[in-house]
Structure 1
Amino acid sequence: MHDATPLIATLVGGLVLAFVFGALALRLRLPVLAGYLVAGVVAGPFTPGYVADAHIAQELADLGVILLMFGVGLHFSLKDLLAVKAISIPGAAAQMGVATGLGMLLGWWLGWPPAQGFVFGLALSVASTVVLLRAMEERRLLDTDRGRIAVGWLIVEDLAMVLALVLLPAIGGFLGAGHDGPAPTVGALIETVAWTIGKVVVFVALMLIVGKRAIPWVLQTVSASGSRELFRLAVLAIALGVAFGAAHLFDVSFELGAFFAGMMMGESKLSQRAAEETLPLRDAFAVLFFVSIGMLFNPRILVEQPWVVLAACLIIVVGKSLAAFVIVRAFGRPPKTALTIATSLAQIGEFSFILAGLGVSLGLLSSQARDILLAAAIVSILINPLLFVALDRWIARHDADTPDDHPDMAGHTVLVGHGRVGRRVLAELQAVGARTLLIESDEDAVRELRARGDVEVVVGNAAAAPVLAEANLAEARALIVAVSDPFEGGQIVRAARALRPDLPIVARAHSPECVGHLGGLGASEVVYGEQEVARSMFAAAQPKRESTH
């Protein structure tokens, strides 16, 4: 038997432990992220037993972040980014300033040098890409106004941290880092800032001028070859290649490079297919990201410095979020949007760890301060899903208290989802004059449908009981679940069946396994797309019988 290499051992160990503890967390009705983090703690060097290679785990996690940001870029256009710049740029800058100031205040109270307080506070100010996007994707918020603001905010934080990581070594002398030799001059510092900003500008310009045309063209050319394998390889090569090139040629972060690669690929008509091809890899490597965080955690810090860890957590979860809420409300956005942004930012992650590691290497941050930061990060990541659950309940209550726009709705068909299939189902229902109520979570789509005025619409997650109650499922004629994700569809079917045991429920599936899954959860009928296409093609190929007179 061959001895497992560190790469294989880390990959297998991380995924197996993540599965075991993730399933256990789900069984205990805890956030599945908690299970992934515990898996990392078990695989880390601070607990007995199996120890994974931390360096390899971090590199695998970096791949997850790259693919995740690439996926976000696929669904995000330059127009979307520019549409939220008025709130994202000043909002992110102000929120980072508040969090950094609170971190410096905590450092002053603990007697830390000002430089250590500054680096510590700056690390507290930036949210985790993976945690934020996971929460947004689970709630299908990325294509909403709230989601676009959050992603725009994230991009501004990313750019700020790119600048900070480049400038920190240059200004280490000014901040008191223990360097041998003379401290850098102000002129050298200005030159470093200008050079860094210039490289970022060149990269962005190159992507907007060359990448916007070249990337869709490559994708279209490869697609014309008819090879699905080559198409998938092209998507991954572009995502990883642009991210790598951005980091090594322009000193731009992997995440930002991948985001722009995805955004330029989004100009192609094949962007939806590209997103589907990379989804399995994105999910697998995102799991490894949380495992890698757990591996960094030293539980001893909770015993040695519990109050300092608590204070850092309060800055992240309360101070930073409160600042974001006030900023978003100051821009005239509704409470729902402000609370969503505040909740999204109530955690810290990958950039915080990179900054902390650089701070320690420069002598600006002590190892104890880094351990406090890691502990606060893990606690905030564990708390964040619970905050989103509370937010979902508040929104459901708030929407339930809103005057009912359809009080007399009865004998109607409830349609969930207004995607490619949902649009066609809605058109068919309207063609036969069937009274229809649509449930959709995309707020922009809801606004457009309400402006049309030809269908009743409920906004929200159809798996939530308050949303189904608002759709008056008790008096509905049927429920059609047209969402593409079988797991999301299964949650909706199960919730609807619990509320109305006799309701006819029709769901869609992409495979025979999904047919069994949805049927087992209570769907009356499951439409398997490929099977229906095959039947139609067979019927169309049959010779037409001539009528006899």
Structure 2
Amino acid sequence: MTGHLFDAFFLIFTGSAIVASLALFTRQPLLVAYIAVGVALGPYGLKIVPDINIVSEISHIGIVFLLFLLGLDMQPSALHRVFKEISSTAIISSLLFASLGYTTGLAFTFTHTEALVLGMTMMFSSTIIGIKLLPTTVLHHKQTGELMVGLLLFQDFLAIICLLILARGAPGEFNVNELGLAFIALPALGIAAFSFVRYVLLALIARFDRFHEYIFLIAIGWCLGLAELAQMIHLSAEIGAFIAGISLATSPISQFIALNLKPLRDFFLILFFFALGAQLNIALLPELALPIIAVSVFVLTTKPITFYALLCRKSGRKGLAWDIGFRLGQISEFSLLLAIVASSNDLIGERVKIIIQSAAIVTFIVSSYIVIFCFPNPIAISEKLRRD
């Protein structure tokens, strides 16, 4: 088992390093390289890594750390101001995307539940692509950055609610009683987390903050510990990690923790995107080409237009509205997570899962190219658009 896992890691990271180098030379998004390596080496490609179950489970930790780091960035005072500004845009756009996604699912003869799940996945845009292709100066000091982060954080909150619903799903239906218990457990977990941080964790950090290794260890322990506790009370690891991050956000050391955990998060996210590509059953793609193209075109067209209309009406700045609209014009990595959770609970079939995965990959790639060629970003081909 150890040998197989070592060989898999060697192939994944060495292969990704080679393809990523080629991607950078040609100014391609790195996540495209990770997905491509997964498709090529996985069980539906060359079968060089035939069993990806272990890798898939390990890669799930990357999403847990991603949610933990998102929580760490959520300062309550800043969130209140930003959410007040973008709340109407976020609510209207989410309802519209969910409705159109649901309608699209029914048009392709999905079941009612499958159409609902598709509608859920359409609501979210990629935090990874949105933030990574946004120049640092814009992210921290301009209105574009504030609005984008606000919209993405609102969607992340919404994704947590959707995860909570799908995690309580039973085959063919939603278990209302279990869902009600989960909504009771959620605030209880939040209160317990904030209390523990205030009276125990912050005291430990203040006493031993000069030991950086200890801070790193306690941050990982807190993240994974609360994730495990969330699973024990029938929530999910993602929800637990998210609450763990928010509970630490007001700590003066939260940004130090976030900075030190980013390399660890990136390690697991490489595995996540590799597993995404490896799990894609390319043999079914010709059969599912029409719904995949339809969903992809729907996302790539309606999202930029919707965000443009809503933001232009609010700010009156057409350039800013188009900029944000195209940067958010894709499906999210959380959409993939929702599809995985829904599939594991038998709420959607394999074909619907593949449609969502494929549409996510297509929209990741196309929207990344649009941003790279048309808007300021760190890896633009044009010197005029390149911004660090």
Q: What TM-score, normalized to structure 2?
A: 0.84
**Mapped pair 1:246 → 2:226:** no
**Mapped pair 1:306 → 2:289:** yes
Deviations 1:341-360 (A, max 9, x none): 43343222443334334544
1:398-477 equivalence runs, <5 A: 465-466=383-384
Structure-2 separation of matches of 1:463 and 1:216: 45
Unaligned segments of structure 2, at least 5 residues: none
Q: In structure 1, what is the equivalent of residue 277 of structure 2?
A: 294
Q: In structure 1, what is the equivalent of residue 113 of structure 2?
A: 115
Out of 175, 192, 201, the position equivalent to 1:215 is: 201
**Mapped pair 1:206 → 2:192:** yes
Structure-2 separation of matches of 1:385 and 1:167: 34
Q: Larger deviation: 30-39 or 155-164?
A: 155-164
Structure-1 separation of matches of 2:324 and 2:362: 19
Out of 75, 78, 82, the position equivalent to 1:77 is: 75
Query: How big is the shift at 1:114?
Result: 3.3
| 8 Å Cα contact 1:68/1:130 also seen in 2 | no
Q: Larger deviation: 383-392 or 140-149?
A: 140-149
Query: How big is the shift at 1:58?
Result: 2.1
- Which structure has the higher relative contact order (CA within 8 Å, separation 6+)? 2
Q: In structure 2, what is the equivalent of residue 343 of structure 1?
A: 326
Instruction: For residue 141 of structure 1, give the secondary structure of its aligned residue in structure 2.
Output: helix
Structure-1 separation of matches of 2:282 and 2:186: 39
Q: Larger deviation: 260-269 or 22-31?
A: 260-269
Percentage of pairs with the same residue? 22
Instruction: For residue 45 of structure 2, give the secondary structure of its aligned residue in structure 1.
Output: coil
Query: How big is the shift at 1:139?
Result: 6.8
Do the aligned partners of residues 342 and 208 (structure 1) sit closer, same or farther apart at CA in structure 2, a change above 3 Å counting?
farther
Q: In structure 2, what is the equivalent of residue 267 of structure 1?
A: 250
| 8 Å Cα contact 2:102/2:118 also seen in 1 | yes
Aligned amino acid, residue 229 of structure 1: E
Q: In structure 1, what is the equivalent of residue 124 of structure 2?
A: 126
Structure-2 separation of matches of 1:41 and 1:220: 46
Do the aligned partners of residues 203 and 87 (structure 1) sit closer, same or farther apart at CA in structure 2, a change above 3 Å counting?
farther
Query: How big is the shift at 1:31?
Result: 1.8
Structure-1 separation of matches of 2:51 and 2:332: 20
Aligned amino acid, residue 221 of structure 1: R
Query: How big is the shift at 1:87?
Result: 4.9
**Mapped pair 1:382 → 2:368:** no
| 8 Å Cα contact 1:222/1:234 also seen in 2 | no
Structure-1 separation of matches of 2:233 and 2:138: 35
| 8 Å Cα contact 2:291/2:355 also seen in 1 | yes
Deviations 1:310-339 (A, max 9, x none): 111012222234333333444447445544
Structure-1 separation of matches of 2:369 and 2:136: 13
Q: In structure 2, what is the equivalent of residue 145 of structure 1?
A: 146
Do the aligned partners of residues 233 and 112 (structure 1) sit closer, same or farther apart at CA in structure 2, a change above 3 Å counting?
closer
Do the aligned partners of residues 161 and 299 (structure 1) sit closer, same or farther apart at CA in structure 2, a change above 3 Å counting?
same
Q: In structure 2, what is the equivalent of residue 95 of structure 1?
A: 93
Q: In structure 2, what is the equivalent of residue 156 of structure 1?
A: 157
**Mapped pair 1:326 → 2:324:** no
Structure-2 separation of matches of 1:382 and 1:467: 19
Query: How big is the shift at 1:45?
Result: 0.9
| 8 Å Cα contact 1:99/1:315 also seen in 2 | no
Do the aligned partners of residues 248 and 141 (structure 1) sit closer, same or farther apart at CA in structure 2, a change above 3 Å counting?
farther
In the comparison of the two structures, how many residue pairs are matched?
A: 385
Query: How big is the shift at 1:42?
Result: 1.7
Aligned amino acid, residue 159 of structure 2: D
**Mapped pair 1:38 → 2:21:** no
| 8 Å Cα contact 1:84/1:152 also seen in 2 | no
**Mapped pair 1:279 → 2:258:** no
Deviations 1:462-481 (A, max 9, x none): 9984489xxxxxxxxxxxxx
Deviations 1:214-265 (A, max 9, x none): 4332222222xx43322321222222223332343361551x4333433433
Structure-1 separation of matches of 2:381 and 2:109: 50
More helix by share: 2
Rg larger for: 1
Unaligned segments of structure 1, at least 5 residues: 175-183, 397-459, 469-490, 493-549
Structure-1 separation of matches of 2:301 and 2:17: 31
* Aligned residues: CA RMSD: 3.4
Out of 197, 201, 207, the position equivalent to 2:183 is: 197
Do the aligned partners of residues 137 and 467 (structure 1) sit closer, same or farther apart at CA in structure 2, a change above 3 Å counting?
closer
Q: Larger deviation: 28-37 or 119-128?
A: 119-128
| 8 Å Cα contact 2:124/2:331 also seen in 1 | yes
Structure-2 separation of matches of 1:48 and 1:247: 36
Structure-2 separation of matches of 1:299 and 1:461: 30
Aligned amino acid, residue 190 of structure 2: V
| 8 Å Cα contact 2:71/2:244 also seen in 1 | yes
| 8 Å Cα contact 1:21/1:35 also seen in 2 | yes
1:169-184 equivalence runs, <5 A: 169=170, 172-173=172-173
Q: What TM-score, normalized to structure 1?
A: 0.62
Deviations 1:356-399 (A, max 9, x none): 34544555433222222211111111123223224524xx9xxx
Q: In structure 2, what is the equivalent of residue 13 of structure 1?
A: 11
